[in-house]
Structure 1
Amino acid sequence: MANVFIAYILWLVGGGVGLHHFYLGRDRQAFIWWATFGGCFGAGWFRDLWRIPEYIFAANKDEGYIKDFLHKRTCYKSPPFCPVRFCGELVLGWSFGILARLCVPEENAYEGIGWLICVIVPPCAVALGVHVVANVKPQKATYVWPLLGAMCGIPWIVNDTANIHYSAVLSAVFVNWQGKEWNPEVGNNRGFCRRFFSLTFCCLLYSSIWGVAIYQTASITTKEGEEIPLREAIPNFFKSPAWAEMKQSFKELYEFYQVHGFEKLWEELVEKLDPTGEANAYKVLKVTDNASEKEIKASYKKLAKQWHPDKHTDPQKKAEAQEKFMEIQQAYEILSKISHKRMRMNKKDREEEKIMIE
């Protein structure tokens, strides 16, 4: 039996990802909330504040709820039009369509097979999104009508493959016009494990498609202002010296673990991560990690003089010099603080040693 107190607790702590809906057996709605950040960026989550009692009655198959539901089915041949559900169909349908469109790189979207995919696949994705919302209880719908509506938006997509919104509107209109009917099932009769794995699979699939979309369409801007597609940047990264160094570091850590065990490995890992910034500071000042304070100071003065912004008149070079100069100053400050801290600790240890001897 679903409990109203637990439902509200789950709404409060995990409502943004639909946790309370999963608890109440409303798996489709849980997925919608997860995929749209709390039901259209929190709007649905807030609305659930006063909708949860009705969901509790449905989950518990309350006699009064069932009686009222049967009365509605008698009065209305099909579920009445609901503006909130219609907006949900638009949002999820549009987001599914945009996601499908983003999986095709921009340079391939206007010719050949890429163009054909951009014309055919997004309407199917739109229809799927509308279909998911249209099947949230107490109603259900077939996939045919939202698909027919989405396909009616193809003329606009042919003209511009980014015109997904026409398909979303028409798909939602069609499913509300002819595609919906009452769902006689009250509550959720499926087992917990089946529900959990089904929902997890859908979430992972949706996340994977977003990963493909980001990989295909995202880009990285270099300091020269050149945009490099992410799908080119990632393979290049795996060929870069940085990746080679990272692999070598992991190899060394694994070998270290085999010899010294996990405790020593953790200490080594912390040292490799350089949380204090000490290793990077040595690198910036171009000195070794066993350099004396005198050597560090001399290197700092030399580099600060070399990179002082006042030596440059060109605005771009002056900005670069300013950035480098600040980095050098920060590195010197880090090493100075670490040095003074170690000196204080050594002094304290010597004093404690002296007290113990006395």
Structure 2
Amino acid sequence: MAKSLKKAYFIWLFGGLFGLHHFYLKRDKQAFIYLTTFGGFLIGFLRDIYRLPEYVREANEDAVYVEKLKKQQEQLKTPLFLTSRFIGSIAVGSLFGYLTRNSINITDSETEYLWAETLARFLSPLIVSLVVYLIGTEGPIKCSFKWPLLGAYIALAIDALRKTTSNFTPALLGSILLNWNLEWDFDYFDRRKNKKLFKRIIYFSIGLTIFASILGLFIWNNATLESDGKKITLKEYFIKLYNTEEMKKLREVFSMLWNFYKAHGIKRLINHFFYGYDPEAIAHAYKVLELNERSTQQDIDQKCRLLSRKWHPDKYKDFEKKQNAEKIFMDIQASCNLLSEHRRNKSDQNKKSEM
């Protein structure tokens, strides 16, 4: 289906910062870079104002565009050096290298520090070379991935000799080797025709998942906020939050709901959760505890303690008996929680009605 220039500009206007117009034109590599850099640091987004017509002609395999491309391929053995792509690949590659290197948590432990530092050093050039490759090979040009990868790891060796760490050098050498080995891609249009939307979405999702993981880890390990007058990382804050009394109570509530679900199923859990009262579940709970509606809270507590001791899984050595005891024990715990909560709710409702 032919691509519309008007539609491309419309998509550019409302989704261009996220690369949607490039995805529409099957320029998936460029779409991914735009999505992860907010429209190529806004510069690429604005540049597309006058570049879009050519992109649409390429997508439609316009006769004039194809003829011009064929003449270029006949006259030039290799594609022209594009300064904008070269600078863009260095800038974005350096950014991704920085994010990757700093996304891995470096701890105070000597052994963990060594492993984390080694992983950061070797993973960063790989991500940089991938970014350089994506930017440098969009369109009817190609290059083997080994060249930007080789350039990035040569930079790693140079940094090791100089005892420095750099995000710029891997991106620079990777971009130089890629541009040095660029070739015309004579099968470009045939491959574009065979691109299935589902497969494109899968590849795009994989790339986005990798980026989101790197960015998420970077924020997790480096973002700081103020707590009790001290600056702590986001990771430290959530660890501190996790150990508060409120979170412990919340975990207990979720544990209770989970036990109730395993004992009574999803339908009763929904009834209990949304409506606060499930006659069948209440009746089942009384049956499990061998009690009735006239039983007091004291009766419930006593029966719960008695049955919990009787059916505690640790008392059983035989595997089958232990499994059976676990099921009964969970059913008892869920029933105890349900009846205690049910009685509290009834008590609260009675107090409100008396007021």
**Do they fold alike, i.e. is TM over 0.5?**
yes
Aligned-pair CA distance for 1:147: 1.5
Tell me the percent identity.
Answer: 30
**Once the 2 structures are TM-superposed, how far is the Cα of residue 257 of structure 1 from its aligned partner?**
1.4
Contact 2:17 2:45 in 1 (8 A): yes
Aligned match of 1:204: 209
Instruction: Compute the TM-score of the two structures, normalised by the length of structure 1.
Output: 0.65
Alignment-mate amino acid for residue 154 of structure 2: C
Cα offsets for 1:160-219 (capped at 9, x unmatched): 6641111111111111122x1112212443112221232123212211221122223334
Q: Which residue of 1 aligns with 2:10?
A: 9
Alignment pair present for 1:127 and 2:144: no
The yes-or-no answer on 1:48 pairing with 2:71 is: no
| Contact map agreement 2:95 2:167 (CA 8 A) in 1 | no
**Is contact 1:104–1:114 with CA below 8 Å preserved after alignment?**
yes
Kept after mapping to 1: 8 A contact 2:106/2:116: no
**Residue among 211, 233, 238 paired with 2:237:** 233
Q: Name the CA distance, whole Å, in 2 between partners of 1:218 and 1:113.
A: 22
Deviations 1:34-92 (A, max 9, x none): 011101x1100111111111111111111111111111111111111001110121122
Question: Residue 175 of structure 2 aligns to which amino acid in structure 1?
Answer: A
What is the TM-score when the length of structure 2 is the normalising length?
0.66
Cα gap change, 1:188 to 1:217, in 2 (>3 Å): farther
CA contact (8 A) 1:118 1:161 kept: no
Cα separation, 1, equivalents of 2:99 and 2:164: 12
Per-residue Cα deviation, 1:277-332 (whole angstroms, up to 9, x for no partner): xxxxxxxxxxxxxxxxxxxxxxxxxxxxxxxxxxxxxxxxxxxxxxxxxxxxxxxx
Q: 1:162 to 1:259 in 2, by over 3 A?
A: same
Gaps of 5+ in 2: 258-268, 278-355
Give the C-alpha shift of residue 108 in structure 1: 6.2
Partner Cα separation in structure 2 for residue 17 and residue 155 of structure 1: 35
Please say if residues 109 and 115 of structure 1, whose CA atoms lie closer than 8 Å, have aligned partners that are also in contact. no
* 3-state secondary structure, aligned to 1:221: strand
Match of 1:172 among 156, 161, 175: 175
| In 1: Cα distance, 2:209 partner to 2:120 partner | 23
1:153-192 equivalence runs, <5 A: 153-155=155-157, 157-158=159-160, 159=162, 162-178=165-181, 180-184=182-186, 185-186=188-189, 187-192=192-197
Match status 1:222 vs 2:227: yes
Aligned pair 1:27/2:28, yes or no? yes
Report the counterpart of residue 73 of structure 1 in structure 2: 73
Q: Which amino acid letter does the alignment assign opposite residue 257 of structure 1?
A: F
Q: 1:162 to 1:58 in 2, by over 3 A?
A: same
Query: Within the alignment, does 1:193 sit opposite 2:210 as a pair?
Result: no
Residue range with higher mean Cα deviation, 238-247 or 75-84: 238-247
- Deviation, structure 1 residue 128: 1.3
Partner of 2:116: 114
Letter in structure 1 aligned against 2:245: P
Aligned to 1:314: none
Answer yes or no: is the 8 Å Cα contact 2:224–2:234 preserved in 1. Answer: yes
In 1, distance between residues paired with 2:201 and 2:106? 36
